[in-house]
Amino acid sequence: MRIAKFISNAGYCSRREAEKLINKKKVYINKKLCVAPNINVMENDKITINGNIIKLNKKIRLWKMYKPTNVMCTNNDPKKRKTIFEFLPKNMPRAISIGRLDFMSEGLILLTNNGDFARKLELPSSNIIRIYRVYIATVVKSNDIKKINYGVIINGILYKKIEVTIEKMNQKKTSLKFKLREGKNREIRNICRYFKWPILKLIRLQYGSIKLNKEKPGQIKEIDPIPYTFV
């Protein structure tokens, strides 16, 4: 197994972040400096990062969390804003997030101790459905909904395979449900900005077959990854 993949599977960080640590000369293999991210290691090799021993996680673990608003989904924020990892119990093992929600968004975020598992669930080719509820501070035209469902091009980017429905609407506010599988960066916010829909609240309700239930912002719960079908 390559060293970057080993670090990712150990739940220390993503594979890309592991490569950065290697390039910064922070990683050692059996007390020798690791000089490249493609070096192969064995399970019994001693891997250390900043003096800490990194052990491979054989058992995949999965948690679901209600991410509050005004919270980042990163380990280290240059602006020193609060992150989801500050909400984790002290006795919880190191975990990485599966995808992200932006600073202002809230709702379901998944965490795991296994980098390969996280990457599999993040890839567009996995075709995993994500469901969001979005509150808009305006009336929404049905023709605009049809345009989105057919696919729209915004700033040269095609947003496709989106299903948007109106849940409730009055003269001041509209509740929309977005179902999408691609999950491009800030996809929903870019679409709403294009149609000049001011967003009041954006909540992720579901990722694959995993749903928010009665969790409150900041709450986290471990779930069994085996029974879930990510479709």
Would you state the pLDDT for residue 8? Answer: 81
Instruction: Quickly tell me which residue has 């990722």 as its tokens.
Output: 207
Write out the chain's pLDDT in tens, 231 residues: 899 989 888 878 878 888 999 999 999 999 999 999 899 999 889 999 988 898 877 788 999 999 999 999 987 788 989 999 999 998 888 888 998 999 999 999 999 988 888 888 888 778 899 999 999 999 999 999 999 999 899 999 888 878 999 999 998 999 999 999 877 888 999 999 999 999 999 999 999 999 999 899 999 999 988 655 444
188-209: pLDDT as tens digits: 999 999 999 999 999 999 999 9
**Residue ranges matching CATH 3.30.70.580 in the chain:** 62-125+210-223
- Reading the block at residue 194, the tokens are 């294009």
CA 1, 63, 208, 181 dihedral sign is: negative
207 near 128, Cβ under 8 Å? yes
Would you state the pLDDT for residue 231? Answer: 42
- Reading the block at residue 73, the tokens are 């989904």
Residue 66 vs residues 17, 49, 63, 91, 138: alpha-carbon distances, Å: 25, 30, 10, 19, 27
Report the alpha-carbon distance of residue 132 to residue 153 in Å, rounded: 21
Would you state the pLDDT for residue 227? Answer: 57
Name the pTM for this structure: 0.81
Residue 224: active-site member: no
Of the candidates 102, 116, 144, 224, the residue annotated as catalytic is 102
What H or E segment, with its residue span, contains residue 53? strand 52-54
Would you state the pLDDT for residue 168? Answer: 95
Would you state the pLDDT for residue 49? Answer: 93
CATH of domain 3-54: 3.10.290.10
- Reading the block at residue 164, the tokens are 């948007």
**Residue ranges matching CATH 3.30.70.1560 in the chain:** 129-207
**Residue ranges matching CATH 3.10.290.10 in the chain:** 3-54
CATH class of 129-207: alpha beta
Would you state the pLDDT for residue 229? Answer: 45
CATH of domain 62-125+210-223: 3.30.70.580
Indicate the Cα dihedral angle 49, 51, 57, 62, nearest 10°. -80
